[in-house]
Amino acid sequence: MAKLNQTLEYIGQFLDYSQHRRNHSPATIRTRRCVLTMLANDAEVRFPRKTLLTLDAESIEQLLDRRHLAPKTRDSYLDCLKAFFKWSMRLRYCKVNPMPDTERPQLPPPDPNPLTEDELRRCIDLAPDQRMRLMVLLAAYAGLRVAEIANCQHSWIDLTDSSDPVINVMGKGKRNRTVPLHPKLLNALGEYGLDYRSSALLFTYRGNKISDTTVSRLISDHLRGCGIKGKTGHKLRHRFGTRLYEQTNDIYYVSEMLGHASLQVTLRYVKPKRGERRRSGILLLD
């Protein structure tokens, strides 16, 4: 039990680091806490003489096998363990990092499945109030994540240059980006009552700061109310990435506007019209 308590203390330190140094979202912190605590307890039961931080690759895979996880879930658990062991190695809480030797599941190709234009029109037209309409537009026309919508401040909107209004997004992993404001979004901000000199949050919930979980739930509930099934608010961001790529054919620009750390992540967000792209590409050949 003493070894388990020590491991749980390390997990707590790692979560503090993730939150305050890496600026990870509350949802990520909750997921990591759940996964690591669960696996630390599993290790105590399955391997009484060891701890989570002294397991080898084979033992970690055995722990995950006993959970009968779906491939995507297993992959996310491995990502969580990879970050934890990397941090632990840096602080010398463990002697060997087993993660490079663990086997990753084979995942199917990602399907962005963005909202269609008809679905987006319904989502905007049927919005019950200006707040929901603005949330939808921030995701669909500026590519904001639900956490960024929750944290969005009036002061993020920069109208200094009237010919080039922008939103300065304080993004994930402290990666900030500047996104031009679409006219529809600019009009919605004006109707909502923008005060760009204020650092106040754009959205609150029952008088308090709104959480990313609440934003996600509100948008998802609205989508279902519009008859759009099987899609979440994040698919509005996928729509932004897909349409931007279709208009620019510049994956680097799309990655910048989405605030991604790598192009591999961006490729999960865009769903180009492949038939049209193949034909136009061939016709460009000399």
Catalytically annotated residues: 145, 172, 234, 237, 260, 269
Number of other residues whose CB lies within 10 A of the CB of residue 201 = 15
DSSP 38: H
Closest to 261 in 3D by CA, of 179, 167, 176, 178: 176
Q: Which helix (H) or strand (E) holds 248?
A: helix 234-248
Residue found by looking up tokens 């004006």 in the block = 190
Helix (H, G, I), strand (E, B) or coil at 113: coil
> Hey, what are 286's tokens?
């000399």
- The CA distance from 96 to 73, in Å, is 24
Tokens of 264: 């591999």
Task: Identify the burial level of 266 via C-beta atoms within 10 angstroms of its C-beta, where 0-12 means exposed, 13-18 middle and 19 or more buried.
Answer: buried
Q: Which helix (H) or strand (E) holds 208?
A: strand 208-209
**Residues 149, 153: Cα–Cα separation, whole Å:** 9
Instruction: Give me 86's structure tokens.
Output: 């990397």
Amino acid letter, 243: R
Q: Count the alpha carbons within 13 Å of 85 in the hemisphere toward its beta carbon.
A: 23
